[in-house]
Structure formats: C-alpha cells, structure tokens
Amino acid sequence: MPSHSRATALALLLLGGPLAARAAERPSLAVPLATGPVKVDGVLDEPAWASAGVVSAFQLMVPREGQVPSESTEVRVLRDGVRVVFGIWCRSARKPHCGLAARDQVLDGDHISVHLDTDGDGQRAYIFGVNPYGVQVDGILTGDADFKWDGVWDGAAHRGDGEWTAEISVPFRIMRISAHGRPWRLWVRRELTAWNEVSTWPLYKVGEPGPIMLQGGDLTGLDDAQGGREFTLEPYVFGASLGERSPLAGGGTSDWQDESTNDAGLDVQAALTPSLVANATFNPDFSQIEADVLQIEVNRRFPLIFPEKRPFFLEGADHFVTLMDLVLTRRMAEPRWGAKVTGRAGAWNSGGLVVRDGGGAILGGSGYTPSDDHRLTRPGWYSLGRAQLPFGEGANVGVLAGGHVQDEEESPAPVRERGTYNVFGGFDTQLRLSARWRTEAQLIGSTSRIDSTGTGRDTEPFNDWMGVWRFFYRDKARELHLGARHVGEKFRDELGYQDYAGVTYRRVGGWWDLFPKTGPLQRLAPIFDVLVVHERTGRLEFDQIESSADFEFRRSAFVNAGYRHSDEHWLGHTYPQDRGYLYAEWHAWRPLAMNVEVSAGDAILYGAPTTSSLAWSDVVTFNATVRPEPRVTSAANIVRFRLKEAFDRSEILDVWLVGVKTTAQFTRRLSARLYPQYDSDAKHVDVNALLGYVIQPGTVFYAGVNSGWDPDLVSGKRTATSRQFFAKASWRLAP
C-alpha cells in the first residue's frame, strides 16, 4: 500500500472509530405506516395514532442541561405514501404564552418545532413548527436557523384543560430527499417562554461542537420517501396610485403630482431530481409589503444594510452561505429575470445563480475603490456558483465563485465608460479536530476592472485576496474562539460586504457559564472579546477590548452589562473611546414583553478632516410588545441617538426614531396592520396600513395605503406630502 494511502486509512480509522461509536449511541425512532386516515385538526383522536412511534424523554437544553423540564411533552410520528405526520401532546399548567399571529411570528412565545435532516449527515434540516394557536413556522437550519423559507404543509393545534395538542403534516414533495442510504435525523425542540426553558429530544448538549443536527436522533422507515416532485407557477400582479407634493419656501405645498404604476411577474419552480430544484423568475416581486424598519442614518462611517425579502432570492439562499459575507443579494437592485439551481447533486450540496439586473445599487462596502465613488451600478449580469461536500461528523469542504459584469455606459465618446467586471472565487472548509475543538477556514481571490472617474481611462485590471482562519473550543461551561482574517488592499466583491480593505483582523474571545444551582439566578456568564485591526502598513486601524457578563433569571428575565474600550483611526487621527452598555429583557407575562438597551460614552463625529473630533454619544433603544388579547399585537420600537461635543457640552445631534406596529389577526388567514413611523431628523412621519389575506405561501392578497407627512416650512404644521394606494395578488399554482 502506498504511504499516502496508509496515512489516509490511519486518519480515517482514528476519526472513524469515535464517530462510529457516536452514531451507535444516537437514539432512534421508527416511523410506522399509518393504519388508517389521519385528519390534521390538532386533535389526536384517530385510532392510527395508537400504533405510532413515540418519544417522551424530553430534557432541558437550557437553562439546566439534562434536567427534567417543568412541563412534559410527547411526540408521535406516522407516515403514508406521500407525507410524514407528527402528533404532539404538551402539558400546559397555565395559559399559553402566545397568541394568534401571522405565519412565522411565533418565536417570542410558546411553540414546538420538529427538525428533519433528509440527507442524514447532520449538516442541514427543515424546520416545521406550531404554537398552541396553530400558527405555523418553518425555515432551514444550517449553522443558524433561517425562517425566510416557506413551504406548503399542514399544521393545526387544539387547546384543552391543562394541555394542548398539535398535528404537523409534511408532504415529501416539498423537501429535497437524496438517495444516500442513511436514515433521516430528527430533533424536536419545545420552548416555554414564561419559565425560560427549552427542552429537546434528543438532548442537545451545548458543549458538543458542530451543527445541531449531529446530535439528532435517527428517523428510520423513510427509505422509500420520494421528494422534490413539486412543480409550481407563481404569478403576481401589483398596482399602485402614487402622489407627491413638496413644502414651499413661502409656506404651503405644491400641487399634487399623481401617477399610476402597474407591474407583473412570474416565478417558476421545478424539480430536476428528487434533491435538485430549478427556479426561474421574470421581473421578480419587489413590492415591499413589509416596510423596512427605520435605522439611524446620520453620523455613520459604513453604509446601512437591509435584509432580503424577495421570494426568488430567499429560496435556497442557505446554499450560498459561507464563512464571510460574500453574498448580499440586495446588491441586485432591479432584477429583470433570473434562474438558479439549488439542492444536492450526488454527495455535493450545490447552487448556481444567474441574474440580469437593471442597475441602481450602491456599491459602498464592496472593498477596494481607487477613489470615493457614490455612483449607482449600471445594467449588467450577476452570477454565483457554489458546491459543498459534507463528510465525517460535521466536516465539509466547498468552493464558491461569483461575478458582476456591467454593460458599457450608453453615452457619447470619449466619456463613455467601458464595461467593468468583478470576479471572485475560492474554497472553504470546516473540520472537527476533536471532541472539543473545531476549525474553519476560507480563501477567496478577486480580479476586477472598474472605473471610478467616469472617463473610461482608469480601467486597468487589479486583483487581490481575502482569507480567514478560526479555531473554536467548546465544552458544557466554556467557549473559546480565536482567529485571523486578511483583506487585501485591492480585494473587491460587488456581491458582498466588507467594512475595510487592506487590513488584517486578529480576534480572541470567549465566555464561561458558571451555572448557579439555587435561587432565581439560573445562569451567570462572564464574557471577553479582543479585536485588533491593522492596516497593511502596520498602522492600527481599529482595536476593541470588551468585557461583559450575562445574567439569566428563571422568570424570563435577562441582563447583559459591560464595558468597551476601542481605538479607531479616522482621517489621520486615532480616537480612543470608552463606552458602557446595558441590555435587559423581560417576557414572563403573556400580555407584555419588553427590552431596553442603553449605551453611553465616547464617539467620533465623522466629518471632514477639519470637522471630525472626539465627541460623546448616548443611545437608548426600547422595544415593547403588548398583547391585550390573543388576536391583537402592538409592537413599539423607540430609538434615541444623541451626539454631544462632550458629556457636559452642547448637543450636535438628537435623533428619535419611533415606530408602533399594531396587528389584528382575525383568523389565521385574515389580518390588518397599522404601522406609523417617525424620524425626528427628517421631521417625517410615515404611516402604512395593510389588509392581508394569506391562503398559503405564494397565494396571497394585499391592499394598503402609505402616506407621508412633512412640516410646513413656515407654520411648522404637518401636511401630507405623499400618498400611495396599492394592491398585490399572487397565486401559487401546483398542477
């Protein structure tokens, strides 16, 4: 046997022995064939449930790992030829801490969810859950849970005296199921908000490194399940009447300028194989039914980032996630059409994407730019490719490549700008080194040609690289992380986001859970974190030393308090800053949940070289959710940002952002919402009212009104300056 083969065999033996032992220890649940019909109504009264596989040995994940939870749980499971069905019984000694809400809006209250890893390798799982009112939640679990994915499945619940029951029915066709010969994995999680408890089956041990589903139980009896057979068409139409007018310098407003707009588009999804799905879109839906929450826009060094909401980009988005922020699909500001393939091709988790974009995006934070460039992108093409090979227990290796090509500028020579491009690609890996240690790394190179001057002359190609390497130690009570990241001076990624270019990051941090055993304090954890960023010449760009502590109490109260020292270089000066902060939340009482965050201390006034200075700022953020009854929820968000020349000197800025979103959920399908927001810096009030009817994901109808008010420039009284009436409908057609 060649020496390299012997080395490989020895490594596999050393790694495989413990992994095989772990697999043998994994609990197992068999899924029998249903002996009769099961109606999904939340009531477990069908005779078929008597022969179901059952688990009831739930244990606390937090706060007292391994102990018996305050309320017991039992989960049964059956299957037929087209679906798997879960029957759930939960003891509930008090009124459920939740209400009737929109889909996915259950995570701040009592709920239970099942996690299904159809590949059986512990890397990825589908999430399906319900709360005691039958409100559904679904998503994808990889490293973190992402609840943007929506599938079409059935769920219902029934509340009784001292208990509640639920049924979850998941069609095989909505999941990607590859022929791999391994059993599925199952992990069930129940959250009790009032008692601040999370219990699971099997027990998830926080000290075990790697993805959560590595600790899931085997779900047997599903070898012949056939997934990925779904074909859907999802057309949408959108219409709006828009009106605007402006305050006049002499008082009053200009005349209304009215116009109407109409839009339509189509999304298509088709299964290429049981585990590989193709999506195509024409004029993807970008009618923002959900308004973006206001953010502080003044005195910022880096640009604001808003979350993705478009269904085409959300579907399969987890296949493009890597260790660094290399993919930010909101860069595609005006997609005309697109196509992508995501899923499992053989042993590889794969994804491919191509989009024709109309331009209009801001590329701030893309990395290297020869000079300050605030122009918007032109029409062009975006593309992405991703492949990842899982192996062992929580290990994987992958490649990622992407690019953005802009068309030539349509203007007369000689100022016409040539077409520009940005291409990047590289590999990444995550490895489990031992029972406590794991590591992850990524290396990416880029090559680009851009013209920041608009003359068409500054278009010489340039290239550079970016890389990261991190180590993690984890046991039941402690975590330690350390790592480094380098961003080359000329590295550029027009599909992602980077704060700095031409720097090296070094970071170390960790925490220690002290686990008090008695009294109301359930958890005390001191935390530390040190970050140092050096510019390519060795000059300090930024450093931060942070020390804090978590205090977690039994009655759903949590406090984090800490201190942070940093040094930041800005326009030729290094500014030392010291800040203290406090975060507290409480949600033990069903009608009211709230949290507050306060920070105060030194800050930089970001301006020109002659106007920048060290200043003082304090920031207060307050959130409260009020549920006067289970069908009505009112969520208030208040942010105050104040910037002063010094602690005891005059104010430079005093900005308030206030928003109150009130939702009435008449049924699981029908809801109404009123959402006013106020920005004191712009002195602008915006009000969004929305009526929604959601039959299932993709089949929806919305009608709403958006209105804006600004102050009269003479009297100061507010007057309407914008108005919009809109309606949107989409249909999910599955032959």
**pLDDT at site 26:** 83
**pLDDT over threshold 50, residue 1:** no
Quickly tell me which residue has 């798997």 as its tokens. Answer: 84
Residue 553 banded pLDDT, cuts 50, 70, 90 = confident
- Could you report the per-residue pLDDT of 115-163, keeping only the tens digit for each? 999 988 888 899 999 999 999 999 999 878 888 888 899 999 999 888 9
Q: What pLDDT score does 411 carry?
A: 57
Q: What is the mean pLDDT of residues 597-612?
A: 92
Confidence of residue 611 (pLDDT cuts 50, 70, 90): confident
Q: Are strands 184-192 and 592-605 parallel, antiparallel or unpaired?
A: unpaired
Under DSSP, is residue 320 helix (H, G, I), strand (E, B) or coil?
A: helix
Q: Tell me, rounded to whole angstroms, the distance of Cα 543 from its chain centroid.
A: 27
pLDDT-above-90 percentage for the chain: 52
Assess whether 199 and 326 both reside in one domain.
no
The upper half-sphere exposure of residue 588, i.e. CA atoms within 13 Å in the direction of its Cβ, equals 10
Q: What mean pLDDT comes out for the span 522-545? A: 94
Q: What is the predicted pLDDT for the residue at 153?
A: 94
Q: What tokens does 254 get?
A: 């200009």
Domain boundary among 458, 477, 498: 498
Provide the pLDDT for residue 293.
Answer: 76
In the DSSP assignment, the letter for residue 492 is: B
Same domain, 52 and 199: yes
pLDDT in the model for residue 526: 96
DSSP class of 214 = G
CB 138 within 8 A of CB 116: no
Q: Are 268 and 281 in contact (CB under 8 A)?
A: yes
Say yes or no to pLDDT of 443 above 70.
yes
**Whether the predicted pLDDT of 366 surpasses 70:** yes
Longest dimension (CA), the chain: 91
Has residue 452 been placed in a domain? yes
Q: How confident is the model at residue 151, as a pLDDT? A: 87
- Residue 318's pLDDT is 84
pLDDT for 12 equals: 33
CA pair distance 734, 265, nearest whole angstrom:
17
**Is 393 in a helix, a strand, or coil?**
coil
Residues 198 and 315 in one domain: no
Check pLDDT > 70 for residue 286.
no
Average pLDDT (185-208) is: 90
Gap between the terminal Cα atoms of the chain: 56
CATH number at residue 48: 2.60.40.1190
Q: What is the pLDDT of residue 21?
A: 39
Q: In the predicted model, what is the mean pLDDT of residues 415-435?
A: 83
In a domain, 102, yes or no: yes
Same domain, 151 and 45: yes
pLDDT at 13: 33
At 23, is the secondary structure helix, strand, or coil?
helix
* Residue 253: DSSP 8-state: B
Residues 208 and 99 in one domain: yes
> What is the model's pLDDT at position 372?
56
- 37-46, 309-318, 692-701: which range is least confident on average? 309-318
Amino acid at 557: A
Is residue 511 within 8 Å of 525, Cβ to Cβ? yes
163 located within any domain: yes
Task: Please name the residues in contact with 201: beta carbons below 8 A apart, sequence gap of 6 or more.
Answer: 27, 55, 56, 57, 58, 59, 73, 75, 187, 188, 217
Residues 215 and 307 both lie in one domain: no
Give 665's pLDDT tier (boundaries 50, 70, 90): very high
Report pLDDT digits (tens) over 631-649.
999 999 999 999 999 998 8
Pair 70, 58: CB distance under 8 Å: no
Computed over every residue of the chain, the mean pLDDT equals: 87
Q: Are residues 192 and 322 in the same domain?
A: no
**Count of domains forming the chain:** 2
- Cα→Cα distances 404→344, 414, 424, 491, Å: 25, 24, 9, 14
Whether the CB-CB separation of 551 and 523 falls below 8 Å is answered with yes
Gap between the Cα atoms of 520 and 588, Å rounded: 13
Q: Which of 160, 191, 220 is the last residue of a domain?
A: 220
In a domain, 124, yes or no: yes
476-529 pLDDT, tens per residue? 889 999 999 999 999 999 999 888 889 999 999 999 988 776 678 888 999 999
Of 198, 220, 242, the position where a domain reaches its end is 220
Q: What is the pLDDT of residue 19?
A: 42
Report if residue 608 sits inside a domain.
Answer: no
Residue of 536, 636, 520, 680 lying closest to 196 (CA atoms): 520
Radius of gyration, CA atoms only, the chain? 27
Mean pLDDT of 599-613: 91
Give the three-state DSSP class for 1.
coil
628 cis-preceded (ω within 30 degrees of 0): no
CB-CB contact of 542 with 535 (8 Å): no
User: Can you give the pTM of this predicted structure?
Assistant: 0.84
Residue 108 lies in a domain: yes
> 80 and 120 in contact (C-beta within 8 Å)?
no
Residue 663 pLDDT level (bands cut at 50, 70, 90): very high
CA angle 315, 118, 65 (to 5 degrees): 100
Residues 207 and 317 reside in one and the same domain: no
DSSP β-ladder status, 380-391 and 348-357: antiparallel
Share of the chain above pLDDT 70, in %: 91
**567 domain-assigned:** no
Full DSSP string of 398-419: EEEEEEEEEPPP-S-TTSPPPP
What does the pLDDT look like over 371-411, one tens digit per residue?
655 678 889 999 999 999 988 877 899 999 999 999 887 65
Question: How do residues 332-355 score in pLDDT, each as one tens digit?
Answer: 988 999 999 998 888 888 999 999
Torsion of CA 496, 499, 503, 508, to 10 degrees: -100
Q: Cα(368)–Cα(325) distance, rounded to whole angstroms?
A: 15
- 489 and 369 in one domain? yes
Residues with Cβ within 8 Å of 127's Cβ and at least 6 positions away in sequence, in order, are: 113, 114, 115, 137, 138, 139, 140, 141, 145, 147
Q: Is 50 exposed, middle or buried (0-12, 13-18, 19+ CB in 10 A)?
A: exposed
Q: How many CA within 13 A on the CB side of residue 633?
A: 22
The domain in which residue 450 lies consists of 303-498
- Quick check: is 145 in a domain? yes
When pLDDT is cut at 50, 70 and 90, the band that residue 458 belongs to is: low
Based on the domain organization, do 203 and 318 belong to the same domain? no
Q: Higher confidence at residue 496 or residue 230?
A: 496
